[in-house]
Structure formats: C-alpha cells, structure tokens
Chains A and B, each alone.
Chain A
Amino acid sequence: MTVRNIASICNMGTNASALEKDIGPEQFPINEHYFGLVNFGNTCYCNSVLQALYFCRPFRENVLAYKAQQKKKENLLTCLADLFHSIATQKKKVGVIPPKKFISRLRKENDLFDNYMQQDAHEFLNYLLNTIADILQEEKKQEKQNGKLKNGNMNEPAENSKPELTWVHEIFQGTLTNETRCLNCETVSSKDEDFLDLSVDVEQNTSITHCLRDFSNTETLCSEQKYYCETCCSKQEAQKRMRVKKLPMILALHLKRFKYMEQLHRYTKLSYRVVFPLELRLFNTSSDAVNLDRMYDLVAVVVHCGSGPNRGHYITIVKSHGFWLLFDDDIVEKIDAQAIEEFYGLTSDISKNSESGYILFYQSRE
C-alpha cells in the first residue's frame, strides 16, 4: 500500500492517462468509464463501496434508470444517481470525480457518518442499501396512494403490512431458512429470513466456500441458549441450522474480520488467509431451494488495508469487461488477475496488518 501511495503521489497527473495506455485504445471498452473518487477525509470506506456497487451492473443500471426519471427532492438515492450519472456521462474515459454532494448528503442524513473518522465499509453498504430500499418503498407507497386518490378507490384494505419489493431487493435479497429441530419431540420448525448480504465467520487457511459451509453447520442450542419449543411448550435443547433457500442475483459476502477482544476492550483484525475463487457455487442450500445451483462470478471485492476497523484504508478491486481494476480513492490501476492473490490475507497469525478481502460481490451468471 505504501508503495502504491508513494507511486500515486508522484504520478498524480499522469495516472489517468497511464491507465488508458495500460488498457490500450483498442481494448478500452466502449461506453465504460473508470473514474477515481476524491477522498474527503477518511471517506475511503464510502468510495470503495460505491466503486464496487458501480461495477455491479444490475445495480448501476437501476441507479442510472432512476436518474432518468423526473426530478425528485434530493435524497441519498438522487445524490447517488447524480454521481453515477456523472461518471457514466463523462467525456473522458478516465479521471477523478469528487463525490461531494453524496458525501455531504450522507453526513447530513446519518450522524454515524457525520465525522471524519474511518467507518466500517460493511456498515455503510448495509446503510446505503437499506436507505435506498426505504426510499424506493416510500415512493411506491406514495404512487399507490396517489393512484388510489385519483381513482377514488378508497375502500380497499390497506396493504401496508407487506412492503413491496424494490429493485434493491431483486438484486441483493436472498432468503435463509432457519430450521430448528427440537431434540425432545423431534419437531422441525423452519422460519425464513431475508438477507441483503451474508456475514460469515472466518478461519485461518480456509476458503470462502468453507466459511459458507461453516455458516450453515448444525449448531446445538443448549444450556443458556435453549429453544422454546411450541410443541413441547417448554424450553428444550434443539439443533439449528441456517441454509440458503433463495439465492440472490448478487451475493454480497461480508467476512467478519473484526472481532471484539474482551481483554483488550477493542476490536482486532483477523488477517486470516481466506481464499475466494473467481467462480462460486453454494453448497449450503436447502433442498427446496429453487435456484440452488446458480453459478456466481466474482465482480468486486472491497479490501481492508490495515490493522483495525477504525484505522487503515479501504480499496476496491473490480472486474470490468474481462479485466481487473484497482480503485484506491482517486487512483485507478489495471491489475493482473493473479494479483488478486495478494488480497486473500496472511497465513502468519503474528501480523494483524494486512490487505485482505472484506466484502465480496458475486454476480449470478444467469
């Protein structure tokens, strides 16, 4: 990282054209723009996630389509749409853009981000997706009410109980099925839960595949954690497992690299080496899953560099038109697919300081 930063300082002006040269005029994809984002003081958590989302094609397309709709009152989504639109309509193919409006809107809307501290990229992703979904849901509700008012159709029962699905849900939402088997009466109860991303525990020298298997491993609920069985009408020991029932279009996987250490009273980083393949299928699906053998392709990785959640740096690598790019705030570089290896993490437990994959974005092939 340091080497890259030093290099970037020296190359501030020439970086953009160097990227263009690196890709080559003939290879440069038509209608594609690679723009770095200016850092407004520890906003790399935001820049890295925005870049990753920009290269999740279905997400980008929907944001741009939203921009095309008629003018709306400013909210976080309109700011995002403006930013994406301004990247997508640049004359130049490469360059740097300040996401100023988006950042100030974000700081206005959420106290958590209203400072110059380093934030958690995953928390920001979560906040952003949920906020967008809320905005869209609210708009749909408004539209419906407006429609009803126009039609004078007021006597229909309110359908507010079930919020409508938005394109954020269509892209990121999957379903987990949580099966619990009471060890006393053997009754299996299952409950479905929706998710926009999966947070998985990490282990040293494993693969993301293994972490996902582990995520779905059977766990026994006993002693303190006993389960209230409806059939037995009492607390019982039970076995629980969580499997994926509906696979999302884009599978966002959050590696839980920040672990609270009781003795230290602070979070520490698990720099474990967790390898992630460019292609992925899930093993931890429930038998009734509809699209259980979806093939996923890795499209973006948000990488955390450094030793803890509140220090360090975030960068993003994305796949675009068959090659890989590294976005480090205002710097954009083409990288070799082989260089992804550097972001798996460290095999040595001594060093906490690493550049390691933190959020993986896998896009379904179909």
Chain B
Amino acid sequence: MATEGGGKEMNEIKTQFTTREGLYKLLPHSEYSRPNRVPFNSQGSNPVRVSFVNLNDQSGNGDRLCFNVGRELYFYIYKGVRKAADLSKPIDKRIYKGTQPTCHDFNHLTATAESVSLLVGFSAGQVQLIDPIKKETSKLFNEEGRDSATGKAECRPACQSHVVSLCLPHQTLPLPTCHIMRTYLRAPALPDVWCWYITPSDVWREWTVSSSYALQIERLIDKSRVTCVKWVPGSESLFLVAHSSGSMYLYNVEHTCGTTAPHYQLLKQGESFAVHTCKSKSTRNPLLKWTVGEGALNEFAFSPDGKFLACVSQDGFLRVFNFDSVELHGTMKSYFGGLLCVCWSPDGKYIVTGGEDDLVTVWSFLDCRVIARGHGHKSWVSVVAFDPYTTSVEESDPMEFSGSDEDFQDLLHFGRDRANSTQSRLSKRNSTDSRPVSVTYRFGSVGQDTQLCLWDLTEDILFPHQPLSRARTHTNVMNATSPPAGSNGNSVTTPGDSGPPPLPRSNSLPHSAVSNAGSKSSVMDGAIASGVSKFATLSLHDRKERHHEKDHKRNHSMGHISSKSSDKLNLVTKAKTDPAKTLGTSLCPRMEDVPLLEPLICKKIAHERLTVLVFLEDCLVTACQEGFICTWARPGKVVSFNP
C-alpha cells in the first residue's frame, strides 16, 4: 500500500524522489510561471496545460514552451535542465477577455525559427491559429463574423445588448510597434465574445473604433468548451477539435468556416458514435463532425503511427477508432465515472486511461481488453503519459539480484511486494528460460490529489502466460529508448525529420523479420514496422544504464492474480455496449479479475491539482493549477545542483 500509511511526512511536498533508475530532482530555477510568480487563484478556471515545440534551429536552444493560466497564454524559450528560466521576457503573451484558453497544440512539421503554428482552443468554443513568434493571429475558427485579414472592417456595438466584434488588420491604426494581431472588442455585459490586445511591451491598449459596420459574433459549429485540440499527425493543415458537447470536428486551416450553420450528412454510424460530413457547395469547415458517446469528450490521442484515435468521454468510455476508415476498433468502460485522460504506449500496443474512479487502466490495443488497473491516486487522475525514455527491453540474464536499491529510503516500504514479484519472475524465468525478453513500459500519472505516480508495466502483467510466439513479437518493437513521433504531448522530438532511420544499433535487430510475422493483427504491421525504425536508436550510455536497472525489481502487487482468474479472463467474450451491464465483461472486468498495479512512486509534489505531465529526454515536466510549470531532472541530468 504505497499510498496509505498516511502520517505527516506524506503531506510534505516532495522536491525529489528515487526510482530504480536513480534520483529525480526538482529544479527550482527551471520553474516557469507568469512573470510575477504569483500563484494563480485557480478556483473555477480551466486546467493549466503545457505544449512544447522544437524549432529545428541549429542553436540547440530550439525548445519553446506554451502554457495557459486563467485567461492568459504565455510563450517562452524553454531551457529545460540546462539553464534557469527567464520569466521577464516571454516571447509572446496574450490576455483574453470573456473566454479562456483551454488547450493548445503546436504543429511540429511546420515549426521553424521564424514561425510556428499554434492552435489554441477556448472555453467558449472558438479555436485560434496563432504564430507566437511572428506575433500574429492567422485564423479564427468557429467564430463567424467578418474575417477580413486585409480589408478595413470596423465594428461597433449595434446596440446595448448586442455584442459585436471588430476586425482591424490594417496598418493605418497607430500601433506601438510591429503589427498586432486582430483585436476584438466586446460589450462588457456579454461573455460571448472576446477581445485582447497586447503590445510586445506589455502595454494594454483600448481601441476606440468609429464604425460603419456592425457584426454579430456567432459560433455556428459548437458553442461548448474546447476540451482538446491537436494537429492530425503528419499534416500541416488538418486539425481535430473536441468539445465538452461530446463532438469532435476536423478542420482544415485552408478552409473557411462559412457564414451559415453547417449542414451535416451522415457518413457513418456505429454503436454510440456517428460521423457526419459537412454538406456544402464549396469546401468548408468543419470537414467532419464526430459525435462520440454521451457527455463531454474529455481528451483524445492519436496513436504513434497516426492511424488510430483514442477518445475518452464523461460517460466513462474509451473508444478507439480507425481514423481514416472512421470505424470503431474497440471500447472500454471505466470502473465508474468519467474518463478524463488517455495516452498511447510509444509502440502503440497499449492505451492507458485515467479517470474519476481514481484509477489508471491499461488496455491492450491488440486484444481489446483491460490488462491491468492501478490504484495510487487519492482523487481523480487528470493526466497519464508514457515515458518513452524509460520504457525498455532488458536482456534475460542469470537471476542474481542485488539488494542495492534497499539504499533508497523511499523504496523501503515496498520491500515485501518486491520480494513477491521477484519470486513470480523467478519461477516464470525458469519455465520459459533464456529468451531475451523483459519488456518494461514506464508510465506516469498526475491527479487532483496533487500527487505524481510512476508505474511500471512489466511482462508478468503483459503476458501472464508467456506464450512464446507473442512474446517474440514484442521483443523488437521496444528495443531502444528514443521517443516516438510526438503524439503524447511530447513535442521536443522532431517528427518532421523523417529521413531514413538511423541504423539500429540494438542487438535485437535480427529478430525483427520474425516479429512482424508473429503479429496478431494486420493493421498493426505498419505500426510495428514504423515502430522499429523509430525506436531503433540506442546509445551506449543508455544501455549501460539499463544493465543496472534490470537488477531492480518491480513494485506492483501480484497478490490478487491467481492463475484461475487469468484463465477466466481469456474466456470472457466481447460484450455489447450496455453501460449498465458492462461489469464482469471484457469492457469492464471486475476488480479481482485483473492485476492491480501499485505505483512505483507516489509523491505529493504540489499544493494544487496537477494538470500536466510530460516526459522529455532529460527531465519530466509537471504543472499545477496555480500556474507553476516544474522541471524534474532525470537521474544524472542535474548539472548545477548535483553534489
């Protein structure tokens, strides 16, 4: 019971923690926040979110970071573990009125030192495309009014009760420096429309607009809060937007949104979802409307190969679609309550969700079933993310294991469990013998309980029976520690750089031909193939590290799983999606029918609800609702603070 055992020391806020790979340390000087460093009063506002991008420049300082706090949006140079954060000079800063930014995503394909494309979703339903380097607003979606980037269209309140927007792109207005994006004015009474205007020197300016032109602002596509916005992987122009209404829309930045409400035509309908196309003479946005489940669509995530889309909803369902054929691949139901977050393993084989049942749930993409749940959080889980750099394959080796990690005080109370899992591993090894297989996926989660949990997903969970052929399949996919193309919000990688893959240096390469043949599902062949090319970089240093790691044991309790229950699992057939009767089916197995993971570590790291968790190469990044973005150096990556 890692989370219990209470006591005062559990309520302290941790600034470091130890796992089997070493000491993670909070870097206080690498903390990003609003320039005044004042905690944001977070009651009732949207979650703080963070997006990263790498500008592909030669300097090596190409990392940029964007985050929203309340009604503000900041864009900074991210110096990571290397240098202290300089908060005095955000590259861009925007303040919105009447609507708040809720989420954002960079296009990694188009990012350069001179320009980035950042999508921002808002609480009132709009989506903005901005360039925080050029300090421009290029496009506005789901807010119909006059959209004239060149013309001179001025607006004013038509009457007291009507709100009107203003578009003023032209150079004739006396702007302080460079050209400022469009500015929106609104009557203060109505929260519908928004305005901002900020100069590079942080001066607020009110626009006084004489007018000849009145416009009413309407959001014709969806009026509900934007919950998630992401570029479609590999595309420079397509993006997907999810709303709390339960709908998702596919947009193309090149198209307009039209001045009338879209007419939809059914394209495909399935159990609890429908996809419509937008009927129109000229091509317009949205290209597609997805209606998924009941209640808010809380988050979606593209698979690493971009072919599949995992959606989690307030109705408690995970639904995985084939994105191109708009077909439902599989579903899962939470134990209870809404699902709030979702992520893919770097090889696309597993999906992890977190939700209002305080659990993390691991779901197998190939088998379409729950393979484990994890309990460690004391409240709802707000973010889950795989750590592609710690996910690893270990070679099998003699069974010696040292007690070296006993030195780590934080791990002491895991002792009993560790012994247990060691035993199970030992016996299994004896029976299956000498294959170079030990897959360990690492993922993390943060929650409203202000805790960070790290989890290991090990082979005894992944393959309870260790069937030979399948285990082989998995061997080669995860043969290295380099990250996947960034769909997990992990954006410092450069997916645009899709040249020939570097020659794999991993010793497991010769197996790869066999491995694909053993693959269960043909749709995954592509994913595996690309996975091999993407993951096949392995530095010598990393390998050395991992030889140390393998001696450390895993910490989940295996006490709950008898061989009987695993047998039962395999008999469970695929059930109908009747939410009331899902328990005990593969959609939602009973608690005792799947392994229950315990967190590797479970630490209170903030005063406020945690809303961000991103794994980068040399650090992990967390953020809380107060607007503090924290960088935790990975073991051995602390430069200036190491004793």
A205 touches B590 (CB 8 A): no
- Chain A residues within an 8 Å CB radius of B627: none
B337 touches A277 (CB 8 A): yes
What are the interface flags for A331-366 relative to B under an 8 Å C-beta threshold, 1 for contact and 0 otherwise? 000000110011000111000000000000000011
A120 at the interface (CB under 8 A from B): no
A217 touches B4 (CB 8 A): yes
- Chain A residues within an 8 Å CB radius of B379: 205-207, 210, 275
Also in contact, A347 and B609, with CB within 8 A (given A205-B448, A206-B379): yes
A346 touches B43 (CB 8 A): yes
A32 at the interface (CB under 8 A from B): no
Also in contact, A295 and B358, with CB within 8 A (given A205-B609, A341-B44): no
A185 at the interface (CB under 8 A from B): no
Distance between B171 CB and nearest chain A CB, rounded to angstroms: 42
Distance between A135 CB and nearest chain B CB, rounded to angstroms: 35
Contact of B338 among A203, A278, A346 (CB under 8 A): A278
Contact of B357 among A209, A217, A296, A366 (CB under 8 A): A209
B609 touches A207 (CB 8 A): no
Distance between B415 CB and nearest chain A CB, rounded to angstroms: 19
Distance between B568 CB and nearest chain A CB, rounded to angstroms: 15
A205 touches B449 (CB 8 A): yes
A280 touches B336 (CB 8 A): yes
Tell me, in angstroms, the Cα distance from A219 to B363 when the chains sit together: 35
B336 touches A205 (CB 8 A): no
- Chain B residues within an 8 Å CB radius of A337: 295
Task: Tally chain B residues at the interface, Cβ within 8 Å.
Answer: 31
Residue in A217, A278, A280, A365 whose Cβ sees the most chain B Cβ within 10 Å? A278
Contact of B356 among A205, A279, A296 (CB under 8 A): A279
Contact of B583 among A203, A205, A280, A295 (CB under 8 A): A295
Contact of B378 among A203, A277, A279, A280 (CB under 8 A): A203
What are the interface flags for A41-80 relative to B under an 8 Å C-beta threshold, 1 for contact and 0 otherwise? 0000000000000000000000000000000000000000
A339 (CB) vs chain B CBs: closest residue = B44
Find residues 255-302 in chain A having any chain B CB closer than 8 Å to their own CB.
273, 275, 277-281, 283, 293, 295-296
Distance between B482 CB and nearest chain A CB, rounded to angstroms: 36
- Chain A residues within an 8 Å CB radius of B449: 205-207, 210
A207 touches B244 (CB 8 A): no
Distance between B502 CB and nearest chain A CB, rounded to angstroms: 45
Tell me, in angstroms, the Cα distance from A210 to B358 when the chains sit together: 8
What are the interface flags for B123-165 relative to A under an 8 Å C-beta threshold, 1 for contact and 0 otherwise? 0000000000000000000000000000000000000000000
Distance between A216 CB and nearest chain B CB, rounded to angstroms: 11
Distance between B562 CB and nearest chain A CB, rounded to angstroms: 14
A277 touches B625 (CB 8 A): no
B448 touches A207 (CB 8 A): yes
Residue in A206, A209, A293, A296 whose Cβ sees the most chain B Cβ within 10 Å? A209
* Interface pairs (25), CB distance under 8 Å: A205-B449, A206-B379, A206-B449, A207-B378, A217-B4, A273-B448, A275-B356, A275-B379, A275-B448, A277-B336, A277-B337, A277-B338, A277-B356, A277-B380, A278-B337, A278-B338, A280-B337, A293-B584, A293-B590, A295-B336, A295-B580, A338-B244, A341-B44, A346-B43, A347-B609
- Chain A residues within an 8 Å CB radius of B625: 347
Tell me, in angstroms, the Cα distance from A280 to B42 when the chains sit together: 26
- Chain B residues within an 8 Å CB radius of A342: 44
Residue in B338, B379, B591 whose Cβ sees the most chain A Cβ within 10 Å? B379
A281 touches B336 (CB 8 A): yes
Tell me, in angstroms, the Cα distance from A233 to B590 when the chains sit together: 41
- Chain B residues within an 8 Å CB radius of A347: 42-43, 607-609, 625
What are the interface flags for B1-38 relative to A under an 8 Å C-beta threshold, 1 for contact and 0 otherwise? 00010000000000000000000000000000000000
Tell me, in angstroms, the Cα distance from A244 to B580 when the chains sit together: 22
Residue in A203, A210, A366 whose Cβ sees the most chain B Cβ within 10 Å? A210
- Chain B residues within an 8 Å CB radius of A278: 337-338, 356
Distance between A163 CB and nearest chain B CB, rounded to angstroms: 34
- Cβ-Cβ contact count across A and B, 8 Å cutoff: 72
Also in contact, A205 and B378, with CB within 8 A (given A338-B244, A347-B625): yes
In which size bucket is the chain A interface? 20 to 34
- Chain A residues within an 8 Å CB radius of B609: 205, 347
A279 touches B450 (CB 8 A): no
A346 (CB) vs chain B CBs: closest residue = B43
B374 at the interface (CB under 8 A from A): no
Tell me, in angstroms, the Cα distance from A210 to B451 when the chains sit together: 13
Tell me, in angstroms, the Cα distance from A15 to B88 when the chains sit together: 50
B76 at the interface (CB under 8 A from A): no
Tell me, in angstroms, the Cα distance from A226 to B571 when the chains sit together: 48
- Chain A residues within an 8 Å CB radius of B608: 347
Tell me, in angstroms, the Cα distance from A338 to B123 when the chains sit together: 12
Distance between B603 CB and nearest chain A CB, rounded to angstroms: 14
- Chain A residues within an 8 Å CB radius of B304: none
B316 at the interface (CB under 8 A from A): yes
B590 (CB) vs chain A CBs: closest residue = A293
Add 17 more A-B contacts to A277-B380, A293-B584, A347-B42 (CB < 8 A): A205-B379, A205-B450, A205-B609, A207-B356, A207-B448, A210-B358, A210-B379, A275-B379, A277-B336, A277-B337, A280-B336, A296-B336, A338-B296, A341-B44, A347-B608, A347-B609, A365-B580
What are the interface flags for B557-595 relative to A under an 8 Å C-beta threshold, 1 for contact and 0 otherwise? 000000000000000000000001001100000110000
Tell me, in angstroms, the Cα distance from A210 to B359 when the chains sit together: 11
Contact of A279 among B4, B336, B448, B584 (CB under 8 A): B336
Distance between B604 CB and nearest chain A CB, rounded to angstroms: 9
B582 (CB) vs chain A CBs: closest residue = A295
- Chain A residues within an 8 Å CB radius of B358: 207, 209-210
Also in contact, A275 and B380, with CB within 8 A (given A207-B448, A347-B42): yes
- Chain B residues within an 8 Å CB radius of A341: 44
Leading 5 A-B pairs by shortest Cβ distance: A277-B337, A277-B356, A210-B378, A207-B379, A279-B336
Find residues 208-232 in chain A having any chain B CB closer than 8 Å to their own CB.
209-210, 217
B335 at the interface (CB under 8 A from A): yes
Tell me, in angstroms, the Cα distance from A277 to B357 when the chains sit together: 8
Tell me, in angstroms, the Cα distance from A279 to B337 when the chains sit together: 5
What are the interface flags for B621-635 relative to A under an 8 Å C-beta threshold, 1 for contact and 0 otherwise? 000010000000000
Tell me, in angstroms, the Cα distance from A238 to B562 when the chains sit together: 29
B608 (CB) vs chain A CBs: closest residue = A347
Find residues 38-93 in chain B having any chain A CB closer than 8 Å to their own CB.
41-44
Find residues 356-383 in chain B having any chain A CB closer than 8 Å to their own CB.
356-358, 378-380
What are the interface flags for A86-116 relative to B under an 8 Å C-beta threshold, 1 for contact and 0 otherwise? 0000000000000000000000000000000
- Chain A residues within an 8 Å CB radius of B337: 277-280
Tell me, in angstroms, the Cα distance from A210 to B357 when the chains sit together: 9
- Chain A residues within an 8 Å CB radius of B448: 205, 207, 273, 275
Find residues 417-458 in chain B having any chain A CB closer than 8 Å to their own CB.
448-450
Tell me, in angstroms, the Cα distance from A37 to B211 when the chains sit together: 50
Tell me, in angstroms, the Cα distance from A349 to B4 when the chains sit together: 22
- Chain B residues within an 8 Å CB radius of A281: 335-336, 357
Find residues 334-359 in chain B having any chain A CB closer than 8 Å to their own CB.
335-338, 356-358
B355 (CB) vs chain A CBs: closest residue = A277
- Chain B residues within an 8 Å CB radius of A277: 336-338, 356-357, 380
B315 (CB) vs chain A CBs: closest residue = A279
Find residues 146-202 in chain B having any chain A CB closer than 8 Å to their own CB.
none
B334 (CB) vs chain A CBs: closest residue = A279
Distance between B425 CB and nearest chain A CB, rounded to angstroms: 28
- Chain B residues within an 8 Å CB radius of A366: 580
Residue in A275, A341, A347 whose Cβ sees the most chain B Cβ within 10 Å? A347
Tell me, in angstroms, the Cα distance from A314 to B375 when the chains sit together: 34
Tell me, in angstroms, the Cα distance from A341 to B625 when the chains sit together: 15
- Chain A residues within an 8 Å CB radius of B378: 203, 205-207, 210
- Chain B residues within an 8 Å CB radius of A207: 356, 358, 378-380, 448-449
- Chain A residues within an 8 Å CB radius of B450: 205
Tell me, in angstroms, the Cα distance from A341 to B448 when the chains sit together: 13
A349 (CB) vs chain B CBs: closest residue = B607
A365 (CB) vs chain B CBs: closest residue = B580
